[in-house]
Chain A
Amino acid sequence: MKRRYTYFPGCSILGTGRACEESTRAVFAELGVELDDLDDWNCCGATAYMSVDEHKALALAARNLALADTRECAELTTPCSGCYLVLNKTQRYMEEYPRVGDKVKCALKDAGLNYTGRVRVRHMLDILVHDIGLDEVRKHVKRPLKNAKIAPYYGCQTVRPYLDFDHQHYPMTIDRLAEALGATPTHFPLKTRCCGGSQMGTLPNVAQRLCYAILREARRQGANLILSVCPLCHFNLDSYQPDIKSRFGEDVSITTMYYTQLVGLAFGMDPETLGLHRNMTWDGSWLEREILAGAPA
Chain B
Amino acid sequence: MTGFQKTAGNGRQGARGGEEIRIGFYVCHCGMNIASLVDVAAVAKEAAKLPNVVVSREYKYMCSDPGQEFIMQDIRENRLNRIVVAACSPNLHEATFRGAVARGGINPYLFQMVNIREHGSWVHTDAAAATQKAIDQVRAAVARVAKHRVLERRRMEVNPSVLVVGGGIAGITAALNLADAGKKVYLVEREPTIGGHMAKYDKTFPTLDCAACILTPKMSAVREHPNITLWTYSEVVKVDGHVGKFHVTVKRKPRYIDEETCVGCLECISACVFKAPKFEDEFNEGLGKRKPIYIPFPQAVPPLVTIDPETCLKFKTGKCKSPCETVCDRKAVDFTQTERFEEIDVGAVIVATGFKAFDVTRLPIYGYGLYDNVYTALEVERMVTSSGPTGGEITLRDGRVPKSIGIIHCVGSRDKKTNRWCSRVCCMYSLKLAHLLREHTGADVYQFYIDMRCPGKGYDEFYERMLDEGVQMIRGRAAEVTDWTMSPEEEGKLVVRVEDTLAAYVRRIPVDMVVLSTGMEPAAGAEEIRRMFNISCSTEGFFLEKHPKLAPVETATAGVFIAGCCQGPKDIPDTVGQAGAAAAQALALIDKGYVEMEPNTSYIDADDCSGCKSCIPLCPYKAIAFDEASKKAVINEALCTGCGTCVASCPSGSISQNLFEDDQIFSEIEEVLSHV
A residues apposed to B, CB below 8 Å: 167, 169-170, 187, 189-190, 213, 217, 220
Contacts and interface: CB of A to CB of B under 8 A. Distances in A.
Given A169-B364, A169-B365, A213 B486 contact: yes
Contacts, number: 20
Contacts of B486: 213
A266 B311 CA distance: 43
A190 B365 CA distance: 11
B485 interface: yes
Contacts of B370: 170, 187
Contacts of B483: 187, 189
B629 to A, nearest CB: 67
B365 A189 contact: no
B453 to A, nearest CB: 26
Contacts of B641: none
Contacts of B480: 169
Interface in B90-149: none
A117 to B, nearest CB: 26
B484 A189 contact: yes
Nearest to B495: A189
A167 B370 CA distance: 14
A77 to B, nearest CB: 27
Nearest to A209: B486
Interface string B477-506: 000101111100000000000000000000
Contacts of B364: 167, 169-170
B485 A220 contact: yes
Contact of B484 (A167, A169, A170, A213): A213
Contacts of A187: 370, 483
Contacts of B484: 189-190, 213, 217, 220
20 contacts: A167-B364, A169-B364, A169-B365, A169-B480, A170-B364, A170-B365, A170-B370, A187-B370, A187-B483, A189-B482, A189-B483, A189-B484, A190-B482, A190-B484, A213-B484, A213-B486, A217-B484, A217-B485, A220-B484, A220-B485
A169 B363 CA distance: 9
A219 to B, nearest CB: 11
Size band of the interface chain B makes with A: under 10
Contacts of A217: 484-485
Nearest to A217: B484
Nearest to B362: A167
Nearest to B363: A169
A143 to B, nearest CB: 31
User: Interface of chain A, helix or strand or loop or mixed?
Assistant: loop
B452 to A, nearest CB: 27
Contacts of A167: 364
A35 to B, nearest CB: 33
A244 to B, nearest CB: 14
B412 to A, nearest CB: 15
B113 to A, nearest CB: 39
Contacts of A169: 364-365, 480
B368 to A, nearest CB: 11
A217 B484 CA distance: 6
A213 to B, nearest CB: 7
A62 B364 CA distance: 34
A210 to B, nearest CB: 12
A189 B485 CA distance: 10
Given A190-B482, A190-B484, 18 more contacts: A167-B364, A169-B364, A169-B365, A169-B480, A170-B364, A170-B365, A170-B370, A187-B370, A187-B483, A189-B482, A189-B483, A189-B484, A213-B484, A213-B486, A217-B484, A217-B485, A220-B484, A220-B485
Interface in B155-172: none
B457 to A, nearest CB: 39
- Most B C-beta atoms less than 10 A away, residue of A167, A187, A189, A213: A189
B86 to A, nearest CB: 37
Contacts of A190: 482, 484
A259 B482 CA distance: 24
A145 B365 CA distance: 30
A187 B485 CA distance: 13
A13 B370 CA distance: 35
A220 B495 CA distance: 15
A167 B364 CA distance: 9
Contacts of A213: 484, 486
Nearest to B486: A213
A213 B480 CA distance: 16
A189 B486 CA distance: 13
A77 B377 CA distance: 44
Nearest to B480: A169
A217 B487 CA distance: 11
A187 B483 CA distance: 10
Contacts of B482: 189-190
A27 B485 CA distance: 36
Nearest to B366: A169
Contacts of A170: 364-365, 370
7 closest A-B pairs by CB: A170-B364, A189-B482, A189-B484, A217-B484, A169-B365, A169-B364, A190-B484
Nearest to A221: B484
Nearest to B485: A220
A169 to B, nearest CB: 5
A218 to B, nearest CB: 10
Nearest to A220: B485
Interface in B463-486: 480, 482-486
Interface in B334-376: 364-365, 370
A213 B486 CA distance: 7
- Most A C-beta atoms less than 10 A away, residue of B365, B370, B483, B484: B484
A213 B484 CA distance: 8
Contacts of B365: 169-170
A176 B365 CA distance: 20
A190 B483 CA distance: 9
B537 to A, nearest CB: 29
A189 B482 CA distance: 6
Interface string B226-265: 0000000000000000000000000000000000000000
Nearest to B491: A220
Contacts of A189: 482-484
A166 to B, nearest CB: 11
Nearest to A218: B484
